[in-house]
Structure 1
Amino acid sequence: MTKKQLPLDELSGAIGRILGLLLTEEKVDQAVQNLSLAIKESVPGTIGAGVSILDSQARRTSTGFTDSIVEQADHLQYELGQGPCLTSWAFEESVLLDDVRTDTRWPEWSAAVSALPIRSVISAPLMANGHSIGAIKVYASEPSVFDTAAVSLMELFASPAATLLSHIQSAETPKRISEGLQTALHSRDMVNRACGILMERHKITHERALQQLILQSRNKDQSLQEVSAELVAGIPADRN
């Protein structure tokens, strides 16, 4: 499939429109919904888009999606504790998935969405003040629809959007920010180190190690950073 890139003037207009939507918004839930709709219209080849703000246990505090397909695909990620969006959020880097049916990084999630018209995925972290507060993602119905140019486009949208979303959320619910978002400001290096320990100990993949950390975080009601730090420090945080 031929990949289309936005002309510079069209790109500038798309970014400006997205920022304009967020600048006029006062509620984070409506802001993430507006952002998901704008991203779908701006990224070529996209059939659906979503936005998630996450707490320290990788649970969504706010979410926006363009349709039921995105809603189902996202729900399955957070239910299973694995998927491109969670990986993007935890490791603070963009994830490009060429084909859900052949990629082996998230086997349970890939199997769960096999009945949905989803083949290609991009997920980019929402980085505010140097930390990941969530992720944006787009889906396509054919394999290999997205490329590195599309990843760069998503990152262009994500950077200013994250700053504005964090301001909206902070102004809207100071308690949620202090108790949720602040504890989610985890260290990518710490999470990576903890994943490395689990990979070596159990001979598992990077993504499987992350899934274990996320599930432990939820079970223990601790942040992903706290679980990772305990493991790195030698405390057996990987026990069920």
Structure 2
Amino acid sequence: MDTELPLADELAAVFARLSNVLLNEETVAHALKLITEAAVLAADGAAGAGVSLIDSNGRRSSEASTGTIVLEADSFQYDLGQGPCLSAWASGHPVDIADVRTDLRWPEWGQAADELGLRSCLSVPLLAGNLAFGAIKIYWAKPHAATHRQSHLLELFAAQASIFLVNVQARERGRMLSEQLKSTLTQRDIISTAKGIIMAGQGIGKHDAMLHLMARAHIENRTLPDVAEEIIESTPGLDHDQG
């Protein structure tokens, strides 16, 4: 049922439950589970929601989901190397697919999602500063499901969710998310430099440069920092002392 509460009040209501539980159970896994549940609450008629995290090695994984259909849709993205969540992470911007049957950006993934019974998707990056470390997404079984109001709410939600995750990982040192964030943050300068080299050399934008790095790391079965460092080392005229 659609409410008339302002977005800020709705967001506060959704996170009240999350905050109270975190005071007692400060675990990453539990926080992620609650985030996906809250995301479904924020979108009427959603088929499911999930959180995808990507580490510095370029490995993608669905760390939480509200159902099997979300895991299956996400798995197709990881296997194909294309889709809204990967694009939201690479670009740092929300990605809205109004209808997988007519959106031609990721045709293979769109067909796979359609066969699962999913027609639309909204994916929003999880950000630590200006660095995306994952994405939260909502799937619908009907096309054109994400209204402007729902999109705005999910962006506000993702911003708050990111703060919670970063705070939780600080308390849970040694756990998976902490390692991912620390490693990614440590290597971001190297990756950013390599991305700039690719942009200049190939005349492409930030988004495509990051996808280029991800694809090369995947094909060569290497980490993003390793690939980035090799690009920097092979570029003449740069200060190669990154350590």
Normalised-by-shorter TM-score class: 0.7 to 0.9
> What whole-Å deviation, never above 9, does each CA across 1:132-162 have from its counterpart, x for those lacking one?
2211000111111113322221111111211
The reply to whether residue 133 of structure 1 matches residue 164 of structure 2 is no
The 3-state SS of whatever aligns with 1:174 is coil
Residue identity matched to 1:7:
L
Give the letter aligned to residue 134 of structure 2.
G
Cα 1:109–1:210 shift into 2, 3 Å: farther
Give the corresponding residue for 2:239: none
Q: Is the 8 A contact 2:42 2:150 kept in 1?
A: no
8 Å contact 2:50–2:64 — kept in the other structure? yes
After TM superposition, give the deviation of residue 97 of structure 1 in Å: 1.1
Cα gap change, 1:105/1:4 in structure 2, threshold over 3 Å: closer, same or farther?
A: farther
Moved more, 173-182 or 213-222: 173-182
Equivalent residue number for residue 168 of structure 1: 168
Amino acid of the structure 2 residue aligned with 1:68: T
In the alignment, what sits opposite 1:7? Answer: 5
2-structure distance, mates of 1:107, 1:155: 25
For 2:72, give the aligned amino acid: Q
Task: Give the match for residue 88 of structure 2.
Answer: 88
Give yes or no for contact 1:48–1:66 (8 Å, CA) kept in 2: yes
Measure the CA separation in 2 of the matches of 1:190 and 1:96: 29
Gapped runs of 5+ residues in structure 1? 236-240
Relative to the length of structure 1, the TM-score reads 0.78
Match of 2:114, SS state, is: coil
How many residue pairs get aligned? The number is 229
Tell me the amino acid that sits aligned with residue 87 of structure 2: T
Match of residue 116 from structure 1: 116
Aligned CA distance change for structure 1 residues 62 and 109 (closer, same or farther; 3 Å) = closer
Identity %: 35
Residue by residue, what CA displacement relative to the aligned partner does 1:89-139 show, whole Å, maximum 9, x if unpaired?
Answer: 121111111111111111221122221121111111111243222110001
Corresponding residue of 1:36 = 36
Matches within 5 A, 1:224-239: 227=227
SS of structure 1 residue aligned to 2:180 = helix
Q: How far 1:197 sits from its partner (Å)?
A: 6.3
Q: Gaps (5+ residues) in structure 2? A: 236-243
Using the alignment, how far apart are the partners of 2:69 and 2:117 within structure 1?
8
What is the distance in 1 between the residues matched to 2:3 and 2:201? 40
User: Within 1, Cα distance between the matches of 2:201 and 2:76?
Assistant: 24
Asked if the contact 1:106/1:208 (under 8 Å) is kept, the reply is: no
Post-superposition offset of 1:28: 1.1
**Residues 93 and 124 of structure 1 are in contact (CA less than 8 Å); yes or no, is this contact kept in structure 2?**
yes
Map residues 130-209 of structure 1 onto 2, 5 A cutoff.
130-174=130-174, 176=176, 180-185=180-185, 186=188, 193=196, 196=199
TM superposition shift of 1:36: 0.5
Q: State the alpha-carbon separation in 1 of the partners of residues 131 and 105 from structure 2.
A: 24
**Which structure's CA Rg is the greater one?**
2
Which stretch of the first structure deviates more once superposed, 187-196 or 165-174? 187-196
Greater mean deviation of Cα atoms: 164-173 or 129-138: 164-173
Closer, same or farther: CA 97–12 of 1 in aligned 2, 3 Å: same
Q: CA RMSD in A?
A: 3.3
CA contact (8 A) 1:118 1:139 kept: yes
With over 3 angstroms needed to count, the CA separation of the structure-2 counterparts of 1:156 and 1:18, relative to structure 1, is: farther
Structure 1 residue 181 displacement after superposition: 2.2
> In structure 2, do the counterparts of structure 1 residues 105 and 196 end up closer, same or farther at CA, with 3 Å as the change threshold?
farther
Identify the range of structure 1 (169-178 vs 138-147) with the bigger mean alpha-carbon deviation. Answer: 169-178
Inter-partner Cα distance in structure 2 for 1:18 and 1:60: 25
What's the offset of the Cα at 1:67?
Answer: 0.6
Q: Does the 8 Å contact 2:58/2:223 carry over to 1?
A: no
Distance of aligned partners of 1:21 and 1:91 in 2 relative to their CA distance in 1, 3 Å threshold = farther
TM-score normalised to the size of structure 2? Answer: 0.77
CA distance, structure 1, for counterparts of residue 21 and residue 197 of structure 2: 38
